[in-house]
Amino acid sequence: MKELSPKIFLDGKMMYTTNLTPGIRVYGEKLISHDSIELREWDPTRSKLAAAILNGLKDIPITEKSKVLYLGASTGTTVSHVSDIVGESGVVYALEFAERVFRNLLDLCKKRRNIIPLLADTRKPEDYYWVEECDVVFCDVADPQEVDIFMRNCNEFLKKGGYGLLSIKSRSIDVTKSPKEIYKREVEKLKSKHFDIIDFVDLEPHEKDHALVLVRKP
């Protein structure tokens, strides 16, 4: 079992996080014991962040005690693993727009006190202006303007020198162009706004037509 960070482990092609709530599953994942610690299997076909780490993401900026703004939380699959990583002294602001999915997210938050659920529109950061300055902004929204949404939220909530993780869904942006064309164009947008590009990872074969970009706010 290889330790990728204090809360993330790799065993062959299987990845795990330390379970913040021992004995409790979130989405039917496998639970195993390692050195008297309970670990939760992290499925890369259900998590863009897991796929990026397995595909060689150079740096994992989310660590214990991190404050994370997560845009596009959905039911909380990846959010739950981020919750494991930041631990009890960290916090995850989990933002979701769809009310039906948000109800499932609320159920997760009842068991994990380090997740703060937000029912809001990522395009309107003024509606959740009270969110504190964060170490990391993670964006996983299916919107043609997702890069602009990501940059706006980073400008509002990401601390200087903080990291942003952007999942680019090429088919949500433009179905008429190849994913590689979309990735190049969106990365250029980030550069034009002076974000430092730290890494770029294609998420195949775990996620089709998806890539993840790691940036740092200067």
pLDDT tens digits for range 23-51: 999 999 999 999 999 999 999 999 999 99
Question: What is the per-residue pLDDT for 171?
Answer: 85
- Count of structural domains, the chain: 1
Which domain does 94 fall in, by range?
A: 43-216
CA distance 183 to 73: 22
CA distance 29 to 39: 10
CA distance 144 to 171: 9
Q: Is residue 89 part of a domain?
A: yes
pLDDT tens digits for range 86-124: 999 999 999 999 999 999 999 999 999 999 999 999 999
Question: What is the per-residue pLDDT for 142?
Answer: 87
Check which CATH number belongs to the domain holding 129 and give it: 3.40.50.150
- Judge residue 72's burial from the number of C-beta atoms within 10 Å of its C-beta, 0-12 exposed, 13-18 middle, 19 or more buried: buried
pLDDT surpasses 90 at 175? no
Q: Is residue 75 part of a domain?
A: yes
Read off the tokens for 160.
């200087």
pLDDT surpasses 90 at 16? yes
pLDDT surpasses 90 at 197? yes
